């Protein structure tokens, strides 16, 4: 009898434990579970995006003809090609595509590899890349980064955003674009001044963002991942031709009727 009582008590204890386990309901069930909140997304964004695609159909913006993806030697060995992509990105900061493209062409005529840059003195490198923005700083960063690539990566470039941003003169936008172009890997959205500006004008961010990195985090929170690679190319060209920093051409924009900023600009 004693063992029977103990067995019954054990069953009761297990029964109590089972009752305390929380049950997760699938969305749509009405068993008293609180419904899952829908993820935030901007109003009209799909239509706005489709119209931007239409405006970018001709692919004739500076980024299309002279952007970083056009600056490297596609016939070079993969390791050299990736190095040239990274160098073009470093030169492109605060610089028009036309100027970056011309500087890369001059460098490539010298045989643009890790070894040729390391053998080049600072004055010569400066003369070749001038007049890219902040060219003196870029000479220093290029030399430092190239030496690190030689010593730590065997002349190749890192294959992660985390390692790329540790290189002198390489920021998050460059790192994400390097992953896209050099490694064909989508690790995040590359946000430059055009993407930052247009995302705020279209209200593609919940709250106004002050810096490109804030915009990147805000966009990645809701924009479907399959669009991450395309969005930089689309918005950069759109920003170069239509949604200009000053005096945007709203009258020529297909989004004029659904752009929150159109009437105020």
All domains of the chain in start order, with CATH? 43-55+188-264 (1.10.1670.10), 73-185 (1.10.340.30)
Please identify which of the residues 138, 143, 173, 229 carries the catalytic annotation: 173
The sign of the dihedral angle between the CA atoms of 158, 213, 68, 99 is negative
Contact 246, 205 (CB under 8 A): no
Distance CA 147, CA 139 (A): 12
Q: Count Cβ atoms within 10 A of the Cβ of residue 35 and give its class: 0-12 exposed, 13-18 middle, 19 or more buried.
A: exposed
Question: What pLDDT does 2 receive?
Answer: 52
- 173 catalytic? Reply is yes
Question: What pLDDT does 26 receive?
Answer: 36
Q: What is the pLDDT along the chain (265 residues), one digit of tens a residue?
A: 555 545 544 544 444 444 443 333 334 444 445 455 678 999 999 999 999 999 999 999 999 999 999 999 999 999 999 999 999 999 999 999 999 999 999 999 999 999 999 999 999 999 999 999 999 999 999 999 999 999 999 999 999 999 999 999 999 999 999 999 999 999 999 999 999 999 999 999 999 999 999 999 999 999 999 999 999 999 999 999 999 999 999 999 999 999 999 976 5
Q: How far is CA 183 from the centre of its chain?
A: 13
Q: How far is CA 41 from the centre of its chain?
A: 19
Give the CA angle between residues 162, 173, 201 to the nearest 5°. 135
Question: What pLDDT does 6 receive?
Answer: 52
Residues contacting residue 229 through CB under 8 Å, at least 6 positions apart:
180, 186
Distance CA 100, CA 81 (A): 16
User: What stretches of the chain show up as alpha helix (H) in DSSP?
Assistant: 2-19, 45-55, 62-66, 78-92, 97-109, 114-119, 122-129, 135-152, 161-164, 172-181, 193-201, 212-220, 228-241
Question: What pLDDT does 265 receive?
Answer: 54
Q: Which region, left, alpha or beta, applies to residue 21 given φ > 0 means left and ψ of -120 to 50 means alpha?
A: beta
Range 224-227 contact pairs with CB under 8 angstroms and sequence separation of 24 or more: 225/186, 227/49
Other Cβ atoms closer than 10 A to 30: 7
Distance CA 127, CA 208 (A): 40
Nearest to 156 by CA among 114, 107, 101: 114
Contact 187, 160 (CB under 8 A): yes
């Amino acid at each position: 009898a004693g063992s029977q009582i103990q067995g019954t008590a054990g069953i009761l204890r297990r029964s109590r434990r089972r009752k305390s386990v929380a049950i997760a309901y699938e969305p749509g069930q009405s068993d008293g579970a609180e419904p899952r909140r829908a993820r935030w997304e901007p109003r009209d964004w799909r239509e706005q995006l489709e119209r931007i695609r239409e405006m970018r159909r001709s692919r004739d913006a500076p980024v299309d003809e002279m952007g970083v993806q056009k600056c490297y030697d596609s016939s070079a060995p993969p390791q050299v090609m990736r190095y040239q992509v990274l160098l073009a990105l470093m030169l492109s900061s605060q610089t028009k595509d036309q100027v970056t493209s011309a500087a890369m062409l001059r460098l490539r005529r010298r045989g643009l590899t890790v070894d040729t840059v390391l053998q080049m003195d600072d004055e010569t490198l400066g003369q070749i890349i001038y007049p890219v923005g902040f060219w003196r700083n870029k000479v220093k960063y290029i030399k430092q980064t190239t030496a690190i690539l030689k010593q730590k990566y065997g002349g190749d470039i890192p294959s992660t955003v985390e390692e790329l941003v540790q290189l002198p003169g390489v920021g998050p936008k460059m790192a994400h674009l390097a992953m896209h172009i050099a490694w064909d890997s989508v690790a995040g959205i590359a946000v430059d001044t055009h993407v930052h500006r247009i995302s705020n004008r279209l209200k593609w961010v919940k709250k106004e963002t002050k810096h490109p990195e804030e915009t990147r985090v805000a966009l990645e929170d809701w924009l479907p991942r399959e669009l991450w690679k395309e969005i930089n190319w689309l918005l950069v060209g759109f920003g170069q031709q239509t949604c200009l920093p000053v005096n945007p051409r709203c009258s020529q924009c297909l989004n004029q009727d659904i752009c929150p900023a159109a009437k105020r600009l």
